[in-house]
């Protein structure tokens, strides 16, 4: 099945792992899909549960999807905004990008967030110690071509339609809160930041977080999948052999598309940790 791409990009986006995750999710779909680290939302959006709780500690991601779900943002509004702002970007280039960035850091409008996310360097989401978006310009003044805008509008329309068809909520909260109300028939998909990978204002992760997540998931009354990394060229994820070793571990080679140069895009062996035996092994 074709992978549905969300309108927001982020580091660690799991688009390439969707077929594996879809095959691994073994669930009746009767309860609630619980995703405490939604990021771009690509995983849940492709699973398409009837009931879902999408959460993240980054308020800008949540505001964006919440605006789509409650109808404040739709494809039409996104098209007219990107056509207007994209035309100014093509005339004024990086000066305008930095103007929009300053405007976003002042007013936090979801449309500015989308504009920055789709024209910044490498589509990453990163905030400085004061919570200001600080990703530089992606150096493409002609970024918002007609075709590119249409692609984004279709992605927004897709989320708009499914989030209104199903019973989905988007909540900005810490994973400990999201995981405090799980029931037996639910399904939890966790994709936390990888320890030691990168740290910013809304998105940091340390050993203590990993241990707390382990404790919570060890008592999880329903099935869960945890995404993590297995190894790269230089080292292995020690937590797989220690903390997570009592669960099932599936791996798949996956390439990360974040990084300035092709040479810096090191292959990472991704892992899925599950508390059930998957029916379809890769
Ligand atoms: C690896 S990304 C998730 C990527 C997502 N699965 C995707 O495919 O787009 C991790 C996410 O966890 C969020 N996050 C970091 N710390 C968190 C916390 N303590 N509670 C909830 N979310 C957190 C970050 O903002 C980030 O969006």
Is the CB of 68 within 6 Å of ligand 1? no
Distance 83 CA to ligand 1 centre (A): 30
| 26 CB neighbour count, 10 Å cutoff | 14
Q: Which CATH number fits domain 75-156: 3.20.20.450, 3.40.50.970, 1.10.260.40, 1.10.1020.10?
A: 1.10.1020.10
Give the model confidence (pLDDT) of 187-203 as tens digits: 999 999 988 666 787 88
* Full pLDDT tens readout for the chain, 282 residues: 799 999 999 989 999 999 999 999 999 999 999 999 999 999 999 999 999 999 999 999 999 999 999 999 999 999 999 999 999 999 999 999 999 999 999 999 999 999 999 999 988 899 999 999 999 999 999 999 999 999 999 999 999 999 999 999 999 999 999 999 899 999 999 999 988 666 787 888 999 999 999 999 999 999 999 999 998 888 899 999 999 999 999 987 665 544 445 545 567 889 999 999 988 765
176 Cα nearest atom in ligand 1:
20
Is the CB of 127 within 6 Å of ligand 1? no
Q: Which residue is closest in CA terms to ligand 1's atom 16? A: 203
Q: Which residue is closest in CA terms to ligand 1's atom 17? A: 57
**What's the pTM value of the predicted model, to 2 decimals?**
0.94
Domain 15-57+173-274 has CATH 3.40.50.150: yes
> Is the Cβ–Cβ distance between 225 and 190 less than 8 Å?
yes
Q: How many CA atoms lie within 13 A of 160 on its CB side?
A: 16
Is the CB of 39 within 6 Å of ligand 1? yes
Is the CB of 46 within 6 Å of ligand 1? no
Q: Using alpha carbons only, give the angle 123, 37, 57 rounded to the nearest 5 degrees.
A: 85
Q: How many CA atoms lie within 13 A of 121 on its CB side?
A: 11
| Probe residue for ligand 1, chosen from 4, 5, 6, 10 as the CB with the greatest number of ligand atoms within 8 Å | 10
166 conformational bin, left if phi > 0, alpha if psi -120 to 50, beta if neither: beta
Query: Would you kindly state where each structural domain of the chain is located, as residue ranges?
Result: 15-57+173-274, 75-156
Q: Which long-range contacts (CB under 8 A, 24 or more apart) does 233-237 make?
A: 233/266, 233/267, 237/194, 237/271
Sort 243 into a burial class: Cβ within 10 Å, 0-12 / 13-18 / 19+. buried
Q: Which residue is closest in CA terms to ligand 1's atom 5? A: 39
CA dist list (Å): 67 to 23, 70, 72: 31, 5, 5
């Amino acid at each position: 099945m074709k992978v549905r791409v969300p309108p927001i990009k982020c580091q660690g986006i799991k688009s390439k792992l969707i077929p594996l995750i879809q095959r691994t999710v073994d669930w009746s779909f009767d309860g609630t899909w619980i995703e405490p680290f939604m990021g771009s939302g690509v995983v849940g959006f492709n699973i398409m549960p009837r009931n879902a709780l999408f959460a993240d500690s980054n308020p800008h991601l949540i505001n964006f999807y919440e605006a789509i779900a409650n109808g404040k943002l739709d494809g039409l509004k996104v098209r007219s905004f990107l056509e207007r702002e994209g035309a100014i970007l093509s005339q004024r280039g990086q000066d305008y990008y930095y103007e929009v960035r300053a405007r976003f850091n002042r007013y936090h409008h979801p449309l500015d967030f989308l504009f920055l996310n789709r024209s910044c360097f490498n589509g990453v989401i990163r905030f400085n110690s004061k919570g200001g978006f600080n990703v530089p310009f992606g150096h493409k003044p002609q970024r918002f071509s007609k075709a590119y805008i249409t692609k984004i509008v279709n992605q927004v329309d897709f989320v708009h339609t499914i989030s209104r068809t199903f019973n989905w909520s988007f909540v900005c909260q810490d994973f400990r809160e999201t995981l405090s109300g799980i029931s037996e028939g639910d399904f939890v998909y966790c994709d936390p930041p990888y320890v030691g990978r990168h740290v910013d204002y809304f998105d940091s992760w340390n050993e203590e977080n990993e241990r707390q997540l382990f404790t919570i998931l060890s008592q999880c009354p329903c099935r869960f999948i945890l995404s993590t990394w297995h190894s790269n060229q230089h080292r292995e994820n020690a937590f797989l052999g220690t903390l997570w070793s009592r669960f099932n571990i599936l791996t798949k080679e996956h390439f990360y598309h974040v990084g300035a140069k092709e040479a810096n895009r090191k292959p990472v062996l991704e892992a899925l940790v599950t508390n059930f035996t998957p029916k379809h092994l890769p």
